[in-house]
């Protein structure tokens, strides 16, 4: 029987998790070369004809809102390297059914767009920042762009847009930066989230469980040794970060167990890659080729049906999704194509 034969307000998968949230990679291109995400050289970007057009993305988002999606996060690659992002966001903001449009950015090109983001009603921006030290920023991202990122950070704060800083925790690369980053929460109303490094680095380096020893418990212990107790705070349903308050701090600290995968039980999201591949789990190989359906003339109903089936049959968790991959070499994939 068709999953769409019964009226659906919110689609649920076979494990009872709702579909609410789409992470949309608008490009696979980027102006940084973060060590944990992609190699310094030799990156093969998609030909432009293989990237979904904005029209195609809007059509898919509209279909997804009919299945329960009400939140979209733009990501990439770096969203702001794609031309005409703002007109696209304007059209997205006008779609009925979406009540939350946000984005994840490296902040290099973002500062001039902050007033526009505020006008469009973007309430929160995730800003990736792994260190406050200019030399280490250069070593991690292979570009000398820390000042531009800090300009974005301050512009967002001044515009009243909620800022969540995403910092990837890298063994022997930025451990000395964790406390200074967490210290930003002392006086500023920001959330600083520490992310376990995952192996999706596009072949930048070989990442094994042994080379990724900074799991969420160790990150917490390290922070507590310097800041005092991290007190668990209320975390929204479907959130990936465990959030904490620190006595005397205005902001919050978060820890994302992205490699330990502790949050799969409440995962409410889909990922759409820049080339139109659907991922129902960060760790799956992808399966449904939505670009082929779009360009092959499939109706909206047909696409909705295919999406529903894919979501319904998603893996129970990231470990199952990883086991189901034909290849276990996760580091051949780059987070820039997955969308983070
Ligand atoms: N370019 C934008 C940025 O960096 O914010 C958006 C895309 S980026 C792929 C999205 C998020 O994924 C960033 O916060 C980044 O730090 C994170 N990320 C990338 N590679 C990662 C990895 N191997 N492990 C953990 N997080 C990663
Ligand atoms: Fe670019 Fe973001 Fe990947 Fe860094 S993490 S290389 S900024 S896509």
DSSP secondary structure code for residue 47 in this structure: P
Kindly state whether residue 147 falls inside one of the protein's structural domains. Answer: yes
Summarised one tens digit per residue, pLDDT across range 96-130 is: 999 999 999 999 999 999 999 999 999 899 999 99
Q: Does residue 133 sit within a domain?
A: yes
37, 53, 206 from 172: Cα distances, Å? 16, 40, 15
Query: Quick one: which of 285, 289, 290, 288 has its CA closest to 332?
Result: 285
75 in a structural domain: yes
The CATH number of the domain where 244 resides is what?
3.20.20.70
Would you say 35 and 136 are in contact if contact means Cβ atoms under 8 Å apart? no
Pocket flag, ligand 1, residue 141 (CB < 6 Å) = no
Residue 308 lies in a domain: yes
Q: Which is higher by pLDDT, 242 or 333?
A: 242
Structural domain contains residue 12: no
Range of the domain at 178: 21-338
Q: Per-residue confidence at 5, pLDDT binned at 50, 70, 90?
A: very low
For residue 36 and ligand 1, the question of a CB distance below 6 A is answered with yes
pLDDT above 50 (res 76):
yes
Q: Looking at the 3D structure of the chain, how many domains does it have?
A: 1
**Is 16 within a domain?**
no
In the reported structure, the alpha carbon of residue 26 is separated from the centroid of ligand 1 by a whole-number distance in angstroms of 14
Spatial strand order of the sheet with 21-25 comes to 231-232, 241-245, 252-256, 191-196, 162-169, 124-128, 100-105, 71-75, 21-25, 269-272, 278-279
Instruction: Give 204-223 as a 3 state SS string.
Output: CCCCCHHHCCCCHHHHHHHH
Please check whether residue 9 lies inside any domain of the structure. Answer: no
Q: Which of 26, 28, 33, 104 to mutate to test the pocket of ligand 1 (most atoms within 8 A of CB)?
A: 104
* CB 267 less than 6 A from any atom of ligand 2: no
The verdict on residue 3 lying in a domain is no
- Round to whole Å and give the CA distance between 157 and 152: 9
Question: Rounded mean pLDDT of 138-157?
Answer: 98
Distance of CA 20 from the midpoint of ligand 2 (Å)? 25
- Pocket probe for ligand 2: among 105, 128, 142, the residue whose CB has the most ligand atoms within 8 Å is 128
For ligand 1, whether the C-beta of 78 sits within 6 Å is yes
Is there an atom of ligand 2 within 6 Å of 33 CB?
yes
What pLDDT is recorded for position 6?
A: 41
């Amino acid at each position: 029987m068709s999953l769409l034969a019964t009226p659906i307000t919110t689609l649920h998968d076979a494990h009872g998790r709702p579909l609410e949230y789409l992470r949309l990679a608008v490009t696979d291109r980027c102006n940084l070369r973060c060590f944990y995400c992609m190699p310094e050289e030799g990156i093969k970007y998609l030909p432009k004809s293989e990237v979904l057009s904005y029209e195609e993305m809007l059509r898919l988002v509209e279909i997804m809102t009919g299945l329960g999606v009400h939140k979209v996060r733009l990501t990439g690659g770096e969203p702001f390297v794609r031309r005409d992002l703002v007109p696209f966001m304007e059209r997205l903001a006008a779609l009925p059914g979406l009540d939350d449009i946000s984005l994840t950015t490296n902040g290099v090109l973002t500062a001039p767009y902050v007033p526009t983001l505020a006008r469009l009603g973007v309430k929160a921006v995730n800003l990736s920042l792994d260190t406050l030290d200019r030399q280490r920023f250069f070593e991690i991202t292979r570009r000398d762009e820390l000042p531009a990122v800090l300009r974005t950070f301050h512009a967002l704060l001044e515009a009243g847009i909620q800022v969540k800083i995403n910092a990837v925790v890298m063994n022997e690369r930025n451990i000395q930066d964790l406390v200074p980053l967490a210290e930003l929460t002392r006086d500023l109303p920001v959330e600083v989230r520490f992310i376990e490094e995952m192996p999706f680095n596009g072949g930048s380096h070989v990442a094994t469980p042994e080379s990724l020893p900074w799991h969420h418990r160790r990150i917490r212990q390290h922070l507590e040794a310097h800041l005092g107790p991290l007190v668990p705070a209320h975390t929204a349903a479907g959130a990936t970060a465990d959030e904490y308050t620190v006595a005397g701090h205005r902001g919050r600290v978060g820890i994302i167990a992205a490699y330990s995968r502790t949050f799969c039980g409440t995962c409410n999201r889909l990922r759409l890659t820049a080339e139109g591949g659907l991922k129902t789990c960060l760790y799956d190989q992808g399966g449904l080729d939505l670009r082929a359906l779009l360009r092959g003339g499939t109706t909206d109903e047909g696409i909705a049906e295919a999406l529903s089936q894919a979501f319904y049959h998603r893996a129970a968790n990231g470990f199952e999704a990883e086991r189901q991959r034909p290849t276990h070499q996760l580091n051949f994939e780059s987070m820039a194509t997955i969308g983070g």
